[in-house]
Every structure is written in structure tokens, then in C-alpha cells.
């Protein structure tokens, strides 16, 4: 399904390693199966040949890794960025979270990534191999006599169904063709929630958040969450907790996090991708993005470096808080 | 051996639920399964396993230990323990049943954890053989046979029937109560299913994973292995692996200030967290590499060292499925174990 191949990426990375442009490569490492890739740092061409992989399961957003990796490394690190990853990249630069000079960014096209849970829902469990051919995935399982052929579009990750941009907003070099910003339907689900009564909406989130196990994966994968010490990890903060002590606390954590990243969240969707309990956390962030667009004019975090987010900017055209409240009342 | 037609399975659940709370895997709105209390209309999930493991029944994520109430200069100490009724957990897979054994060695050794012991004594476990293990399953590595699940009662499900055999006095008593809904039968169908499971076990991709490189006494050899750097490189430091793990048993004890008193509770902790086992002198594991190493050394070296060689992993594969970066104990065993791990 991806237009760019593993071989092309290995060749590019090898070239840049060999000519000394970079001293390491942040890429996707091969797993036990055809879908369990691990973000990996490669230092030699041999390592790349043995362990680098690129397929429909390379969803991980590498931008956040640059905060730690650029600290450690001598010289530059090569990072491969899909279009959505470039927004996080810019946002982190806006927040001065890593040294741009230590990164060589190669933009790569993305046709959308697959969700392995969706694949298994169609193919059944017991996956032996997954092949990719054009816009089809061929899944061999331990239980089906014949391989199951699945249309790649039927197993796209939610965030890819609602892809907001095929355009790279940051790179040193671009591989493949540049795409466009897309008019996506990403706010449809938010609108559906807004149309609910307050009780229905409460029940919706009650059900979703009741599954939270407070593993913090959403926070730890989030490129907007790069505090050196999260308030929820600090025993002296008074709000630190390692598990949801009660229903209120489950919500408290997610609501505080959503507020903290408001205006900085690029809607990359990592939070929902990594959630072991499939909680649609991105909907909280999208609600804020939608509101900010409505109240203060269209704004896309990470579209450019150094932009001022609506909540930290002031213009005379800004809505008065009362007006915001009135609009909410009218919508309720 | 006794059997019950699957057509009558809800009657069977109803009968069990007459005398004890019954919990069984049920589908949630997101498509995954979780143990939920059976009620009229509940539907037993077809999922291979639940996201959260059944350790929750004996070692819940949060649990009040005691409370203090202050009034003027007086402090009242309140025992928060409640009486517990018997409960039945239905459909526990062989790997998860084994995890109880691993937890028992921690919580039922002196000093016995009375909270855990109370729950354990009230629980009856009906296990279930796995007719369709996943590619992420590797229970065999730890000597577990998914065709022979243990527990108080073992069960095997075919297309049409479910078969039961009791293993303990508790199990025998429960099966006797269900005699009106079950009938005595021979074990032909079960023997047939066991053979099929054995055959599929030979095809699992992780069937050859070995523990030879690990076990008690290996600390010196493995602690400073250079591979830990690479393995832990991408670890996010989240607690997913520890919280979905059926054998992770670490907890923290904390005080919750209620305004006029304190509730002392314990909650699961994760060695992946930066404040895990933080002490007065500071944190004893400052880097993610050290935290990451702790988790696997605990499962593969420290625990077996203290427990007659028993590893504290059951190969359920939850961490393989759920880790956001797909790093897990299988990859660790293969990398650190080198040739011995394959």
C-alpha cells in the first residue's frame, strides 16, 4: 500500500550515513511478526539491511524521540517523517524542545497506515504473514486454508481515514511526491458528540474512560507532552497517582491532559493509537481544536514554526469569554 | 467428565449465579473483551482473552487497606475490610490460571497478605482450553499446556458443547450443583480437541522460544549485558505492559487526604515509572534503561531465583499485543538469550 519502499529508504539512509551527513538513523525496526515494528536507532548500513523495515504498520510518530535522541548523539540524526509527523516536528521546534541543527529530516509520502486490530477483525487471529500488494493486504493465518485478501482502505487506522494532510510542513529533503492539505471529515465525530444531550455525552465518556488503566501511554507517546517531569509523576504535586482511584480521577487525568495540550496538539492521533483500551482520546483534543477554529479562526498547530496558538495570543478580534459562554448555551 | 450443550449455556450461567457472583469475559463497546459480572442477558465473549488479566479479582488495581479519622486530638483507626461472598470466574485461560500460582507465591508467603488471601479463598476458577491460540501466544515456553488448563474446574468448548472436569474439592462441589444441567459423558470429544490444540501448538511462530539463558543465579551474567541499551532505546516508560500483565505484582501504598482523615490504599505500581520505589535518598533507577531491565530481570532471573526456578511470565502475549512500541519479553529473551533464546 505504501508507495515508497523499504529498499528506497535503506538506500537513502545508507547514502547519508556513508557521506557523513548523519551519524545515526531513526527508523522502524523489524519485529517478530509482519506488523510489530519498533522505533529503532540504526548506526551502520549493515544494521539497516538487517533490521530496517517499512510497511503499512509504521504508524509511530518519531518527532518526540528527537527530544531525547538529539541530546545523546554526536553529529546529526536522520529522521524519516510522514506528513502528519512533520506537524509535531514543527510544534516541538516552536517549543524549543530539540536542536534543529542536529536533525536531518527526510519527508516520506504516506498512503495511510493499517490498524492491526482491524486486520484481525477481518482475517481472524493467528497471523502467520501479512503481504502488501498495491491497495490490498494478503493475510495468511494459522486457521484459514487460504490467505485472506483485504482492501487496505478497509483497515486504515482511524486517524488515517481522517487524514488532515499529505503535505509535509518540514523537511531537509523530500522523497516521492509532495501532497496537499486535505479537507478531512475529522470533526464529524466531534459534531456528533456535540449534538448529544449533556447526559448522553456524559454517558459516552463515562463508558469510554471507564476502561482507562492509567498506564499513561497516551501521555508518554504524545509529542505535545514533553515536560521534564509530569505533574502526575511528581509525588510532591499532591495530584500524583498511579492508578485511577475512582471514576472522577480517570476523567480528571484525561481532561487536564487535553487542556494542557490545547493549541499545541497537532491532532497526530498517537494517543488513540497507543491506548491499550481503545479509548478515543483524540476526540477530546479535536473538540478543542474545533472550538478554537470556531472562536478564533482556523489554526493548525505545527503548520509553521513559531506560530502563536490562539490561547497564548491576543487580538482585538478575539471573542469575549461571555460570547463563548453564550454560544455554548445556544448549542446545548 | 460432564458436558452441557452450548444451547443451555445461559441456563448454566444462571444456575451458577444463583449461589455466587459469576464473572466471565464479555465484549465491550470497543470490541475488546473484559471480565464482567454475569447478569440476565449477558453474552459470553468469543475473544481468545481479555485485555485486563483476571489477576484483578485477587489483586485489584486499587484497594483500601485502612482508614484514619481525626477528630480534635483523637485518631480513629478504621478497618476497611469487608466481608466477601464467594465468586466464580469463568473462562480463564491456562496461562492466566498459572499466573495465580505465581501471585500466590508472593502474596501467600509469610507474611501472608490477608486482603489477597481473603479474595483467593472465595474465588472458584473455571478454566477454558484454547482451541485457537494467537500468534502472540508462547505459554508452552513456560511449561503451560493450553489444552490442559487447571483451576478448580477445567473446561473445553467445542462447536456444540462444553465439557467440564473438576480438579479440586471446590470445583467438585460446584459441578455437583450443576448436575441438572450437565450430563455424564466420555472424553472422546475432549481428547480430539486436545490433539487439535497440540497440532496447532506445533505451528505457532513462537513455539521454539527457550528460557535456557535465564533463571536464578544469572544476575551477574545478564545485568550488564550490552543489549539492554538497544532493547530499552525506544521504551516510552508507560505502564501498559505491567498493567495488562497477569503476573506483575508490584504496588505502592499511598495516603489519600479526605480533609478530616486519611484513606490508606494500595494501587498497582509499575517499574517503568520514574517514581517507582522512590525512597528518601531518591530514585534507585534513574534511567529508563534501568527501569526496563528491572522488569525483565524480575520476571526471568530474580523471581525464579526466589521461587524454585519458576519464571514469572506465563506467555499470555498481552504485552506483545499492547506495547505502543512493540517491545516485549519475547524480543528481550531472543536478544539477551542469543542462540539460547531461539
Q: Residue A126: which of B61, B134, B243 has the nearest Cβ?
A: B134
Q: Which of B160, B187, B108, B138 is nearest to B333 (CA)?
A: B138
Whether the CB of B254 is below 8 Å from some CB of chain A: the reply is yes
Same structural domain for residues B187 and B223? no
Q: What is the DSSP letter of B279?
A: B
Q: Are B165 and B30 within one domain? A: yes
* Contact between chains at A125 and B132 (C-beta distance less than 8 A): yes
Q: What is the DSSP secondary structure assignment for residue B147, as one 8-state letter?
A: T
Starting from the edge strand earliest in sequence, which strands make up the sheet with B123-128, in order?
A: B33-37, B21-27, B87-93, B123-128, B153-157, B161-166, B2-5, B183-184
The pLDDT of residue B208 is 95
Is there a contact between B120 and B66 (Cβ–Cβ < 8 Å)?
no
pLDDT of residue A18: 97
Q: Which residues contact A80 (CB under 8 A, 6 or more apart)?
A: A9, A13, A26, A27, A62, A106, A108
ipTM of the assembly?
0.94
Q: Do A221 and B268 touch (CB under 8 A)?
A: no
* B206 occurs within a structural domain: no
B125 & B169 share domain: yes
* pLDDT tens-digit series, residues A181-209: 999 999 999 999 999 999 999 999 999 99
Domain residue spans in chain A?
6-113+163-174, 117-152, 188-331
Q: How far is the C-alpha of B7 from the C-alpha of A192, rounded, in Å?
A: 39
Q: Are residues B197 and B231 in the same domain?
A: no
Residue B249 lies in a domain: yes
Strand order in the sheet with B261-268: B74-79, B62-71, B261-268, B251-257
Residue A16 · residue A52 · CB < 8 Å: no
Contacts of B308 by beta carbon, 8 Å cutoff, 6+ apart: none
> Are the beta carbons of A25 and A17 closer than 8 angstroms?
yes
B30:A278 CB<8 A? yes
**What are the pLDDT digits (tens) for B12-38?**
999 999 999 999 999 999 999 999 999
Residues B195 and B226 in one domain: no
User: Do A182 and A142 touch, CB atoms closer than 8 A?
Assistant: no
Mapped onto helix, strand or coil, the DSSP state of residue B92 is: strand
* Same domain (yes/no): B132, B239: no
Q: Does residue B247 share a domain with residue B189? A: no
Q: What is the rounded CA–CA span in Å between residue A104 and residue A75? A: 10
Separation between Cα atoms, residue A310 and residue A316, nearest integer Å? 12
pLDDT, average across residues A85-91: 98
CB contact at 8 A, B134 and B140: no
The model's pTM is 0.94
Confidence of residue A323 (pLDDT cuts 50, 70, 90): confident
Which pLDDT value is given to residue A330?
A: 63
Residue B93 β-bridge partners = B128
Instruction: Going from the first residue of chain B to its last (342 residues), give the mean pLDDT of each consecutive group of 10, the final group possibly shorter.
Output: 96 96 97 97 96 97 93 92 94 98 97 96 98 97 98 97 98 96 96 97 96 96 96 96 98 87 92 87 88 97 97 98 97 84 48
pLDDT for residue A1 is more than 90? no
B207, part of any domain:
no
* Structural domain contains residue B331: yes
Task: Based on the fold, state whether residues B234 and B105 are members of the same structural domain.
Answer: no
The pLDDT value given to residue A320: 83
Task: Decide which of B201, B227, B249 is a domain's last residue.
Answer: B201
Nearest-neighbour CA in chain A from B180: distance (Å): 36
The total of structural domains in chain B comes to 2
Domain boundary residue, one of B155, B173, B201: B201
- Chain B interface disruption, residue of A33, A40, A126, most B CBs within 10 A: A126
Asked if residue B63 belongs to a domain, the reply is: no
* pLDDT tens-place string over residues A220-255: 999 999 998 898 888 888 777 777 666 666 678 899
The nearest CA of chain B is from the CA of A220 a distance in Å of 6
Question: B195 touching A, CB under 8 A?
Answer: no
Q: B285 with B188, same domain?
A: no
Q: What is the pLDDT of residues A149-175, one digit of tens each?
A: 999 999 999 999 999 999 999 999 999
Strands (E), B72-170: 74-79, 87-93, 123-128, 153-157, 161-166
The whole-number pLDDT of residue B98 equals 98
pLDDT band with cut points at 50, 70 and 90 for residue A318: confident
Smallest CA–CA distance, residue A131 to chain B, in Å, is 16
In this prediction, residues A271-297 reach a mean pLDDT of: 95
Q: Is residue B112 part of a domain?
A: yes
Q: What DSSP line would sit under A70-139, residue for residue? A: HHH-SS-EEEEE-HHHHHHHHHHHHTT-S-GGGEEEEE------B-HHHHHHHH-S-EEEEEEETTEEEE
Q: Rounded mean pLDDT of A104-131?
A: 96
In degrees, rounded to 5, the angle at the alpha carbon of residue A322 between the alpha carbons of residues A321 and A325 is 90
Is the domain of B39 the same as that of B108? yes
For B106, the grid coordinates are 508472593
In A, which residues are within 8 Å of B234 by CB distance? 29, 38-40, 65
What is the reported pLDDT for A316? 87
Q: Which residues of B touch A216 (CB under 8 A)?
A: 238-239, 273
What range defines the domain where residue B189 resides? Answer: 2-58+79-201
Same domain for B223 and B192, yes or no, is no
Asked which of B152, B174, B201 is the last residue of a domain, the reply is B201
Which residue, among B322, B293, B277, B314, has the nearest Cα to B127 in the 3D structure?
B314
Residues of A within 8 A of B243 (CB-CB) are: 213-215, 276
* Same-domain check for residues B20 and B125: yes
Distance from C-alpha of A172 to C-alpha of A3, rounded to nearest angstrom:
20
pLDDT for the residue B284: 82
A38:B204 CB<8 A: no
Half-sphere exposure of B337 (CA within 13 A, CB side): 22
B306, part of any domain = yes
B333 touches chain A (CB under 8 A): no
DSSP code, position A307 = P
Per-residue pLDDT band at A265 (split at 50, 70, 90): very high
| pLDDT reported for residue A236 | 82
Among residues of chain A, what percentage have pLDDT more than 90? 81
Amino acid at each position: 500500500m505504501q508507495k515508497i519502499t523499504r529498499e528506497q529508504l535503506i538506500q537513502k539512509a545508507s547514502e547519508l550515513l556513508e557521506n557523513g551527513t548523519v551519524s545515526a538513523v531513526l527508523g522502524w525496526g523489524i519485529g517478530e511478526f509482519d506488523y510489530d515494528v519498533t522505533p529503532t536507532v540504526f548506526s551502520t548500513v549493515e544494521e539497516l539491511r538487517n533490521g530496517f523495515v517499512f510497511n503499512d504498520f509504521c504508524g509511530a510518530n518519531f518527532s518526540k524521540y528527537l527530544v531525547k535522541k538529539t541530546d545523546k548523539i554526536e553529529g546529526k540524526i536522520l529522521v524519516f517523517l510522514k506528513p502528519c509527523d512533520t506537524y509535531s516536528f514543527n510544534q516541538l521546534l516552536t517549543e524549543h524542545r530539540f536542536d534543529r541543527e542536529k536533525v536531518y529530516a527526510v519527508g516520506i509520502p504516506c498512503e495511510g497506515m493499517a490498524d492491526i486490530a482491524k486486520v484481525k477483525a477481518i482475517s481472524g487471529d493467528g497471523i502467520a504473514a501479512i503481504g502488501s500488494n498495491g491497495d490490498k493486504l494478503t493475510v495468511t493465518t494459522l486457521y484459514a486454508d487460504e490467505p485472506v485478501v483485504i482492501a487496505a482502505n478497509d483497515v486504515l487506522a482511524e486517524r488515517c481515514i481522517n487524514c488532515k494532510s499529505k503535505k509535509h510542513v518540514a523537511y531537509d529533503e523530500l522523497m516521492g511526491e509532495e501532497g496537499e492539505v486535505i479537507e478531512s471529515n475529522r470533526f464529524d465525530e466531534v459534531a456528533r458528540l456535540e449534538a448529544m444531550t449533556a447526559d448522553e455525552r456524559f454517558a459516552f465518556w463515562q463508558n469510554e474512560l471507564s476502561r482507562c488503566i492509567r498506564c499513561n501511554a497516551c501521555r508518554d507517546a504524545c509529542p505535545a507532552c514533553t515536560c521534564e517531569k509530569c505533574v502526575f509523576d511528581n509525588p510532591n504535586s499532591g495530584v500524583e497517582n498511579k492508578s485511577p482511584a475512582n471514576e472522577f480521577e480517570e476523567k480528571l487525568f484525561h481532561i487536564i491532559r487535553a487542556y494542557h495540550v490545547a493549541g499545541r496538539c497537532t491532532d497526530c492521533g498517537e494517543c488513540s493509537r497507543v491506548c491499550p483500551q481503545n479509548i478515543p482520546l483524540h476526540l477530546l483534543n479535536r473538540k478543542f481544536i474545533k472550538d478554537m477554529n470556531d472562536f478564533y479562526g482556523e489554526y493548525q498547530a505545527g503548520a509553521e514554526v513559531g506560530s502563536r496558538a490562539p490561547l497564548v495570543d491576543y487580538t482585538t478580534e478575539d471573542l469575549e469569554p461571555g460570547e463563548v459562554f453564550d454560544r455554548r448555551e445556544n448549542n446545548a | 467428565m460432564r458436558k452441557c450443550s452450548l444451547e443451555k449455556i445461559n441456563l448454566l450461567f444462571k444456575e451458577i449465579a444463583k449461589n455466587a457472583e459469576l464473572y466471565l469475559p464479555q465484549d465491550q463497546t470497543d470490541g475488546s473483551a473484559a471480565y464482567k459480572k454475569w447478569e440476565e442477558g449477558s453474552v459470553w465473549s468469543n475473544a481468545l482473552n481479555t485485555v485486563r488479566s483476571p489477576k484483578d479479582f485477587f489483586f485489584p488495581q486499587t484497594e483500601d487497606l485502612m482508614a484514619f479519622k481525626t477528630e480534635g486530638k483523637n485518631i480513629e483507626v478504621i478497618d476497611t475490610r469487608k466481608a466477601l461472598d464467594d465468586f466464580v470466574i469463568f473462562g480463564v485461560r491456562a496461562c492466566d490460571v498459572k499466573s495465580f500460582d505465581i501471585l500466590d507465591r508472593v502474596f501467600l508467603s509469610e507474611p501472608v497478605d490477608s486482603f489477597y488471601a481473603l479474595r483467593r479463598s472465595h474465588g472458584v476458577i473455571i478454566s477454558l482450553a484454547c482451541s485457537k491460540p494467537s500468534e502472540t501466544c508462547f505459554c508452552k515456553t513456560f511449561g503451560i499446556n493450553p489444552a490442559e488448563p487447571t483451576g478448580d474446574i477445567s473446561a473445553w468448548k467445542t462447536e456444540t458443547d462444553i465439557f467440564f472436569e473438576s480438579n479440586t474439592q471446590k470445583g467438585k462441589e460446584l459441578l455437583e450443583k450443576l448436575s441438572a444441567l450437565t450430563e455424564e459423558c466420555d472424553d472422546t470429544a475432549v481428547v480430539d480437541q486436545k490433539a487439535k490444540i497440540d497440532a496447532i501448538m506445533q505451528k505457532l511462530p513462537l513455539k521454539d522460544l527457550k528460557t535456557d539463558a535465564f533463571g536464578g543465579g544469572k544476575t551477574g551474567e545478564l545485568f550488564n549485558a550490552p543489549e539492554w541499551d538497544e532493547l530499552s532505546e525506544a521504551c516510552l516508560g508507560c505502564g501498559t505492559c505491567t498493567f495488562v500483565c497477569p503476573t506483575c505484582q508490584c504496588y505502592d501504598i499511598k495516603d489519600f487526604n479526605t480533609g478530616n482523615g486519611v484513606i490508606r490504599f494500595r494501587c498497582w505500581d509499575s517499574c517503568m515509572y520514574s517514581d517507582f520505589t522512590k525512597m528518601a535518598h531518591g530514585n534507585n533507577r534513574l534511567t529508563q534503561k534501568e527501569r526496563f531491565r528491572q522488569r525483565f530481570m524480575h520476571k526471568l532471573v530474580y523471581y525464579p531465583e526466589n521461587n524454585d526456578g519458576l519464571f514469572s511470565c506465563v506467555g499470555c502475549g498481552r504485552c506483545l499485543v499492547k506495547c505502543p512500541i512493540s517491545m516485549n519479553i519475547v524480543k528481550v529473551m531472543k536478544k539477551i538469550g542469543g542462540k539460547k533464546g531461539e
